[in-house]
Amino acid sequence: QQQVKQSPQSLIVQKGGISIINCAYENTAFDYFPWYQQFPGKGPALLIAIRPDVSEKKEGRFTISFNKSAKQFSLHIMDSQPGDSATYFCAATEHKLSFGAGTTVTVRA
């Protein structure tokens, strides 16, 4: 049973646009919410992460928004670039990392 639900499955955005990926969870014991970026043939790489006592975290063009009461969190990629084309996974931790199903992002030049 998937503990973290992620949507959409895929999205296409124009260069310079905003990509938004949403995730939801039920387990209130989760204490850490990272996002991973995976390129073809590579392992997932930690992109940005947030703890549940923070509502927003920004690192460069990547922002996590966290809504604890709604048990939802999202990744915003601002000014999307072709090099951002990858699969993005949300995840949550309670002694182990549980992943969402992934979103394939394609940025068109």
Q: What residues make contact with other proteins under the rule CB under 8 A?
A: 31-32, 34, 36, 38, 41-46, 49, 51, 87, 89, 93, 95-99, 101-102, 104
Q: How far is the CB of 16 from other proteins (least distance, A)?
A: 27
CB closer to other proteins out of 26 and 31: 31
Opening angle at CA 62, ends 15 and 13, nearest 5: 25
Q: How far is the CB of 70 from other proteins (least distance, A)?
A: 20
Cα–Cα distance, 3 to 67 (Å, whole number):
17
14 CB neighbour count, 10 Å cutoff: 10
Cα–Cα distance, 77 to 82 (Å, whole number):
12
Q: How far is the CB of 79 from other proteins (least distance, A)?
A: 24
